[in-house]
Structure 1
Amino acid sequence: MDSRSGAAVDTEREEIEQYMTTHALEMHLNQIVNDVVKEQPEDPFVQMSTSLQVLSAQVNSILGVTAREALNASGTPALEVTVETIQGTFSAMTTIGPYDNDTQRFGGKGLLKSVDSVEKLISDKLVGRELNQPSIDALIQEEPTPPANVVLAVSMACCRAAAKHSDLELHEYIAQLGNVSDPCIPVPVFSVINGADAASSPLHLKSVTVTPVEAGTFEEALEIGVNIQAGLVGTLENSGHKYTNVGSTGGLAPPIESGLEAMRVVMDAARDIGCEASVMLGLDVCSGKIVEGLGDGDAEGEEDAEAKEAKDEDAGEITYDVAKWVKGGNQSLKTGEDLTEMYIEWLVKFSVLSLEDPFHQKDSPAFMQFKERLDAEIARAKEREAKLAEAVEGDEPGDADEEPTVRNTATVGNDPACFLQLVGSATCSTEAEIDRYHEEQTVNTLLLTMAKGRTVSGAVSMIGKAQSLGWGVVASIETDSAETPDDFIAHLAVGCKAGQLKAGGLRGGEFVSKYNALLRIAQSEEAPPYASRSFRSFSSSS
């Protein structure tokens, strides 16, 4: 009779069951026995031995790679790739191009060429290969190089398979890839108002976001985002905007033209639910979409690129049309200096956390001018605070007539060097561009999409690069493509401790899927800690 305690027996049983589940022993052994019974060989044990040897060779190998057209949130094709291994099938979906340009299918946005390239360029490369993420990512980029969407979707699907074969959660496996010992759940960045080309709105800002910087848990942050977006509907109605559309990244799209007005209604909604002090605003200027007189970046070939570069250099002072999205309106051209004054006005009136792509990447003078002006305004604001503190101690009245200063003089994200996140989206697409802006000290935050990294390994590397320079990181959905329900970016944000996740608004399942993924991780038994106020510099020891 077994003298061990019931608890010990239960523990051993659980360990055995876990081992059998991890290696799918019951399923594979049943299949081998069934094959033997069906074929009835003269020596069944030889066949079983051979089958087990084949199985052993395949245990961590790729058995097949397939692809198909699926649909993204706008009803146009997205590419879905499925990788098959001995432990099942693992899929990933990406909505980036290139497209087929066959006007007879989906208005030219079909992806049959990409599907075909998986069979012709990928399958033979990967079948039989071991699930090693860096090796796979290097292999699928060798000549002849498949399309960008194929490379990315295959990399993501293989990463999911490799995590399963390593008996790790996806974010845990990604943390291993990046040598991250202390992953964290990022602070959500909610897109609450959409404008520009993300909405049928005259607003030149692509999005206005709210970040619950004071929330202590992810659940609390999520609730704040839900309540603000729900309350914003009523606030807009009270402001005369009874009928409001939804933008392409899950925010509301009211017919508001002024950036200041957009910020006001958002903060009014936050005030109405009592969380005004808990959130900060983010503004995606997307300056590349409103810049005037520069090439559109679509030139092909070395000669065209050189001609475009020469044209840009001859264009003179760069200007921006902040009325570009006003239907039937006239241009309202602003120089980099004009935009600097506008941004400072915003910072005076509202608590702003982030400015994304405030100037075109070629407008270096504007970046430098804004940095100098911002530094001066923060210094002036701190000096004023010190004078007011001295006046209070001495019971003397402060100078009420002094010119107002920027609202936020405290550092953000537990980063002693950052008062405002200057986020590089279109301006930072490569590690070389990260180096450039770091040297100029005009950008201090990377917006990372999966497409920028090209592969999982590439995305992990870009995040590591930015963090090594002291930058903050915002992991993000693709900014110029309709989204899919794939939640890979949420797991990447956790594993690489990005600290912030910009996954759109809460109007659309394709956006909510990312926040739900974080919610599941946050409520798991071995949940990583929440980044909270340390979203720029998280450390498990802090």
Structure 2
Amino acid sequence: MSRIHRNPTLLAPTPSPSSIPPPLEPSRSSPPPPMAATIVSVKARQIFDSRGNPTVEVDVCCSDGTFARAAVPSGASTGVYEALELRDGGSDYLGKGVSKAVDNVNSVIAPALIGKDPTSQAELDNFMVQQLDGTKNEWGWCKQKLGANAILAVSLAICKAGAIIKKIPLYQHIANLAGNKQLVLPVPAFNVINGGSHAGNKLAMQAEFMILPTGAASFKEAMKMGVEVYHNLKSVIKKKYGQDATNVGDEGGFAPNIQENKEGLELLKTAIEKAGYTGKVVIGMDVAASEFYNDKDKTYDLNFKEENNDGSQKISGDSLKNVYKSFVSEYPIVSIEDPFDQDDWEHYAKMTAEIGEQVQIVGDDLLVTNPTRVAKAIQEKSCNALLLKVNQIGSVTESIEAVKMSKRAGWGVMTSHRSGETEDTFIADLAVGLATLLRIEEELGAAAVYAGAKFRAPLYRAHVIFCIEKL
């Protein structure tokens, strides 16, 4: 019912009192809810990552004016069970172009998402993965048709748009999607010495030797500790090996021409001591053992980088396990990633059983952020931590599921970048939302909780997701 206002120049005859209707009651009904924002456009393009390789960037625009942009990274050391990114092949960009993935976004995914609600993350991710793509292998949805790089770029942009529409920080939006009520700032793991495919030295182990400031009281203090150890390490390396040895690898760590892993551990121990943080800064390793595993004889070749390799440095899985145990006994190591080949479930389980209470055994190539492989590892007690890389699985929703499964099992979670990164900072919000960092700590103020030395305590494993952000 609408009210009719009198025109003062055209007065109607005065009605009799009996015909005067009672005054209208003010409306008690609530105003209609605003229309939900919907996606009006999705646009992909080819950009370049930090290693100069092409990758996919996506813009999402919504009916309320919301604009979100996301880009996907790529790795140099990749697990064979990762979701399948789509590359062009051919001669352009040495076969690494992504025009096919870009076209799949613009011609297949974009039209199908017009008019949909970007706050419905799981619904849209599942729609893209299971209906628009629909390809599967023994480990689940592999994204072979459209490309994991195409789907993930859209998934990340949708997630950002959802946070903007809800008027909350991205990390809080991710926490809400995961049902995570407590936010914990992760312990940063500074990647300071590189080996394997990420460097030109003779280290067989990828040996991303990392430093973790677990003794810090806050994330800000942890950053201070990490930076000071890093600069002390640079001085130690320069003095021992010369200026050229301070060049860096793909991951940003130093790549001195060291001959064995103990040498790298000694350098870190010395740098930590010189910085004055003994007992407060500890060590992590990423071995990437699949790189030097020989599937034919089931051995690990520590001399695989030598041109005239005579096979004398091949060792068994049990022998390699004992090497790690000796490292742990001599150095303050708290985390070892990918200590064995991605299919060597047996030795993962052995090592976790023997030193899993002392050390975080992290599955990267073993798990590839895949819920099916995570379930297998939980059942077989193969490791006790997940390395979270969203581009390994190809969607935000599947990444969250892998983390929730890990959390229920009492595992730790490390949130990781890739060696081919972009300017997109999504993983910083992911690390906090599932458990950007300095700014988030400032924003949270007194409510900010830093994981610190309690990163493996039962309370944290039961109630939060501990994420180590690799820098």
Q: Normalized against structure 1, the TM-score is what?
A: 0.71
Among 52, 58, 68, the residue aligned to 1:75: 52
Give the Cα–Cα distance (whole angstroms) in 2 for the partners of residues 233 and 188 of structure 1: 19
Aligned to 2:268: 266
Aligned to 2:450: 530
Indicate if the aligned counterparts of 1:77 and 1:95 stay in contact, CA closer than 8 A: no
1:492 aligns with 2:430: yes
Q: Deviations over 1:358-378 (max 9, x none)?
A: 111332443344345548xxx
Change (3 A) 1:357 1:525: closer
- Tell me the CA shift for residue 459 of structure 1: 0.9
1:154 aligns with 2:132: no
Aligned to 2:38: 61
Change (3 A) 1:115 1:343: same
- Tell me the CA shift for residue 88 of structure 1: 3.2
Among 98, 121, 124, the residue aligned to 1:136: 124
Aligned to 1:361: 342
Give the Cα–Cα distance (whole angstroms) in 2 for the partners of residues 443 and 101 of structure 1: 36
Q: Which amino acid aligns with 1:448?
A: L
The 5-angstrom pairing of residues 57-456 of structure 1 reads: 57=35, 59-85=36-62, 86-96=64-74, 97-103=85-91, 105-131=92-118, 132-145=120-133, 146-206=146-206, 207-244=208-245, 245-292=247-294, 294=295, 315=296, 317-326=297-306, 328-331=308-311, 332-371=313-352, 373-374=354-355, 418-429=357-368, 430-456=370-396
How high is the sequence identity, in percent, across the aligned residues? 29
Give the Cα–Cα distance (whole angstroms) in 2 for the partners of residues 100 and 533 of structure 1: 45
Q: Deviations over 1:482-530 (max 9, x none)?
A: 1112111110110110xxxxxxxxxxxxxxxxxxx11111112556322
Q: Which amino acid aligns with 2:209?
A: V
Indicate if the aligned counterparts of 2:215 and 2:281 stay in contact, CA closer than 8 A: yes
Indicate if the aligned counterparts of 1:241 and 1:254 stay in contact, CA closer than 8 A: no
Q: Which amino acid aligns with 2:303?
A: A
Aligned to 2:137: none
For structure 1, which segment, 340-349 or 458-467, has the greater mean C-alpha deviation from structure 2 after superposition? 340-349
After superposition, the CA RMSD in angstroms is 2.0
Q: Deviations over 1:426-478 (max 9, x none)?
A: 11122222222222223001111002342111111110100001111111113
Give the Cα–Cα distance (whole angstroms) in 1 for the partners of residues 332 and 199 of structure 2: 24
Change (3 A) 1:77 1:465: same
Give the Cα–Cα distance (whole angstroms) in 1 for the partners of residues 332 and 415 of structure 2: 22
- Tell me the CA shift for residue 327 of structure 1: 5.1
SS at match of 2:250: coil
Give the Cα–Cα distance (whole angstroms) in 2 for the partners of residues 228 and 326 of structure 1: 31
Change (3 A) 1:327 1:118: same
Q: Deviations over 1:231-287 (max 9, x none)?
A: 111111232343122111111111112111101001101100100211111111111
Higher helix share: 1
Unaligned runs of 5+ in 2: 1-32, 75-84, 134-145, 465-471
Indicate if the aligned counterparts of 1:201 and 1:326 stay in contact, CA closer than 8 A: no
Q: Which amino acid aligns with 1:344?
A: K
Give the Cα–Cα distance (whole angstroms) in 1 for the partners of residues 451 and 98 of structure 2: 38
Among 448, 463, 470, the residue aligned to 2:410: 470
Change (3 A) 1:117 1:422: same
Give the Cα–Cα distance (whole angstroms) in 1 for the partners of residues 205 and 281 of structure 2: 19
- Tell me the CA shift for residue 139 of structure 1: 1.5
- How many residue pairs get aligned? The number is 400
Q: Which amino acid aligns with 2:105?
A: V
Q: Which amino acid aligns with 1:92?
A: A
Indicate if the aligned counterparts of 1:140 and 1:151 stay in contact, CA closer than 8 A: yes
Give the Cα–Cα distance (whole angstroms) in 1 for the partners of residues 132 and 117 of structure 2: 21
Q: Normalized against structure 2, the TM-score is what?
A: 0.81
For structure 1, which segment, 467-476 or 139-148, has the greater mean C-alpha deviation from structure 2 after superposition? 139-148
Change (3 A) 1:186 1:360: same
Indicate if the aligned counterparts of 1:453 and 1:460 stay in contact, CA closer than 8 A: no
Give the Cα–Cα distance (whole angstroms) in 2 for the partners of residues 89 and 371 of structure 1: 45
- Tell me the CA shift for residue 123 of structure 1: 1.1
- Tell me the CA shift for residue 219 of structure 1: 0.6
Indicate if the aligned counterparts of 2:50 and 2:421 stay in contact, CA closer than 8 A: yes
